[in-house]
Structure 1
């Protein structure tokens, strides 16, 4: 049977010949004057030549059709072979009689359309959790197959990534987590100088860590970027011989040659050695040959002279391969283009299309020196800032069981009436936002202090400038939910890392909620920040308020003195505002009262929304020396300190209006005491109006929908609290 590429070549040649003959015949018959001006020739000879040409054309056409049938038959046969034989793949090198090599036509197994591909990644800590998201984005962007990610994580990475993937809800993506602590005893005895620490050795244990029924897996470092469909790499498993169990790319530096500096003594390796940033593992075969004992014995022997590893698991993998070269299948270098110091990766590619996997395996990462680093950096940044919502793509033709959450969400969306004037509001409250918890390093453990307080707030990019000022005013823990796009999240990261104030704080938790929809999901953001606070009590505030200096310590003292842990109470922190962008912040209550009298400060929103804070009774507060209780009144929305187990905010309220009012009403319905603290205050700083308040002011439809949502909230309160909730509905109607 002819090889497909040879058949195609013959078809091409036959087609060109046919076109040439037809063109020549046309010119001869109708344009003889162009070729032979006198048009001399015997008429019978002319017709004889024409008949010969016609016969030749028919012959070429018949040969062309025959070749097409052969090609069709060859392709059909290849497809059958691909389905029935998965053990042989790729081209075979055949030697002809003259000793020359050429590519023969071997059976080639392509990855089946809905075949599940398995990927294992070791991930620990806050930074690696960010890196793995970029890796996953690059895989999802190109993939056409269902994926199963096997994540070996510490407790930090598990909390972050479990929340992220659950909220991401990418179809046909499965996630399994494995506790890295369970694997530490197997490798903790190995001294390791590499910056990855003990986690850099865990790939050695995958035959034990991963399920026993998993036969093969692709193993990746977190600093990998894919530039092609990972199925292409998965297909390489079919090229392994019966003895090969590990697929690796040759190391693209001179590290294992031992000539980088004087007295440089690397671990033993085969030639240049192999890089373990991308690994293909045939787990079933590895278990069968006793991989665990094999690498352990090799490591024990080499450590007697080497004392420690320099490149973590890579040193041990190479030592094993040096001893047993038949185990390794050498992957083409484009499957792991290594951008490390002293790299030879430029020899691996000549065109952009050659690149398949980029590996930032230098500690310098994006700052590494490379001839084409700008191109590589731009490719990486493309996925770093890519909108992850766009990767929620269905794989058509592949069955995917929806999760319970996605099924409930889909049902709720189907029940919405698109003709409802408030459809957009209702749909926004149902959006499942991607959430990346603890985006930056957070070193404030869950507090056992029964009086500790976390400041809770939410913000978008246009309020970022408030962060430094708040951190200067509040020394305690902070939990913030930031509503950002993927690109804005990276801008924030650079801003925080460049800020001396923010970079020195390790007790500020930043939780990224990725943008989706047309309204600001204010109460969803508040709930994210609230649920991830690590202290027993929380101070529920907004990002554009500066707390008084020393408020953190004052609140902790008040929690103890007023026995807040044992009672249902909400401490009210009186709110004030200034219209001046530059303000000499009051250092005490006496100074604030003086500024009130001079007109440089005001009670919050007294001129546009007095009912929101009037029940605080500012006149009484001016002279109060002890806490005093106030009663709930309609539209009351103070900023409060409560136990962390307080009710969550109602997420139906998006954008502007009633988002805090509904929460205070819920506290009152649950019989929380409202106590005003006599020596606490906060000041609202001026800023441009938000987009949502602008929509509220100019759109009557917006205001009508807010009214509808309020009425529905009242109805839900009545169902939940019975007769006790009637006062809220009565008060609303009396306004």
Structure 2
């Protein structure tokens, strides 16, 4: 999964050089040896791939992570490394873009990186809104529903913020020290549920979030398509720069897109999937293919002399 997203990023990197940082739970030296030997890594910039092991995380940070993830379920605990990356990654890193692997880029990541320049005073994390009518309790309390698949983390500012440290400590405490949280705790979705509830009125957390433009996390999940207001919430009036296949039935489609990391065959891939059983005509999934075709796929480049 790392290989496919790196190939895609490299294919779109016209004006930038990207360094990759992977948090792993195995020996970095052994993994690097495997990377050098396996054919799937050929042609990729292994010298720009940096491996960081969870074994090197300081004890105090491991304890904070353990406490923060006490109410997470399923894969939720894994996702909760993200809010703590300022304490996990080397201090030499001052900013990072954090990406899920079920994504496809149609533009250079430099455009997303420049969103850091739009952060206001006190904003530490950039995340896009959840493009479905989930987190209704959060919104009713004045908060925002976020999607955690794409994140901009201002690591240096996060390290320096006592306010953010206090928020993490509060949400790592059983009972969340009086901070609002859904019944049962953080649950399955980890970081994005944490972020969404942190944005609720009264937590003091809303100010640390910068909302990313919807085109940099264009979500195509249809798991709530039957809910009232789904398509209104899903609307995004800008060009799709990064597609997020955040639904299990769309993963094969996303991998088919990645077979051409340049995105040049996007429309052909969309057309091929119009006959797939998971994208039957008249379904919300077929409508999502229309969204991808109309807003994500790029016209072919004009030939140059």
Structure 2 length normalisation: TM-score?
0.67
Which deviations, in whole Å up to 9, do the C-alpha atoms of 1:99-144 show, x marking residues without a partner? Answer: xxxxxxxxxxxxxxxxxxxxxxxxxxxxxxxx22221121111013
Q: How many residues align?
A: 237
2:152 alignment counterpart: 280
Aligned pair partner of 1:347 in 228, 232, 235: 235
* Unmatched 5+ stretches in structure 1: 1-130, 259-265, 368-376, 388-735
Partner of 2:247: 362
Instruction: Assess if the C-alpha contact under 8 Å between 2:146 and 2:193 holds in 1.
Output: no
Q: Cα offset for 1:176?
A: 1.4
Pick the structure with greater CA Rg: 1
Return closer, same or farther for 1:244/1:342 CA change in 2, 3 Å cut-off.
Answer: same
Deviation of 1:257 after TM superposition, in Å, equals: 0.4
Residue 283 of structure 1: how far off its partner (Å): 1.0
Distance verdict in 2 for CA 1:135–1:232, change over 3 Å: same
Is 1:175 matched up with 2:52? no
How far off is 1:216 after superposition?
Answer: 0.9
Shift of 1:159: 4.9
Q: Name stretches of at least 5 consecutive residues in structure 2 with no aligned partner.
A: 226-230, 263-305
Residue 157 and residue 358 in structure 1: after superposition, are their counterparts in 2 closer, same or farther (change >3 A)?
farther
Partner SS, residue 249 of structure 1:
strand
What is residue 256 of structure 2 aligned with on the other side? 381
* Residue 214 of structure 1: how far off its partner (Å): 1.5
Contact 1:257 1:271 in 2 (8 A): no
Note the C-alpha offset of 1:318.
2.4
User: Does residue 191 of the first structure (1) align with residue 61 of the second (2)?
Assistant: no
Partner of 1:255, secondary structure, is: coil
CA contact (8 A) 1:224 1:358 kept: yes
- Does the C-alpha gap of structure 1 residues 236 and 337 become closer, same or farther in structure 2, counting only changes over 3 Å? same
Cross-structure match for 1:227 = 106
Matches of residues 44-123 of structure 1 in structure 2 within 5 Å? none
Alpha-carbon distance change, 191 to 380 in structure 1, aligned in 2, over 3 angstroms? same
Describe the superposition over 1:381-413 as per-residue Cα deviations: whole angstroms up to 9, x where unpaired: 1323669xxxxxxxxxxxxxxxxxxxxxxxxxx
How many angstroms apart in 2 are the aligned matches of 1:232 and 1:148?
A: 16
Q: Which residue of 2 aligns with 1:163?
A: 34
Q: CA deviation at 1:315?
A: 1.8
Q: Partners of 1:317 and 1:241 in 2: how far apart?
A: 18
SS at match of 2:128: strand
Q: Is the 8 A contact 2:119 2:210 kept in 1?
A: yes
User: Are residue 320 (structure 1) and residue 198 (structure 2) matched?
Assistant: yes
The 3 A distance-change label for structure 1 pair 251 and 384 is same
Larger relative CO (CA 8 A, sep 6+): 1 or 2? 2
> Aligned to 1:152, what secondary structure does the other structure show?
strand
User: Within 5 A, what are the aligned runs for 1:719-734?
Assistant: none
Mapped pair 1:330 → 2:211: yes
- Corresponding residue of 1:209: 88
1:308 match: 185
Corresponding residue of 1:143: 13
Q: Is the 8 A contact 1:336 1:359 kept in 2?
A: yes
Aligned to 2:165: 292
Instruction: Supply the distance in 1 between the matched residues of 2:237 and 2:47 (Cα, whole angstroms).
Output: 31
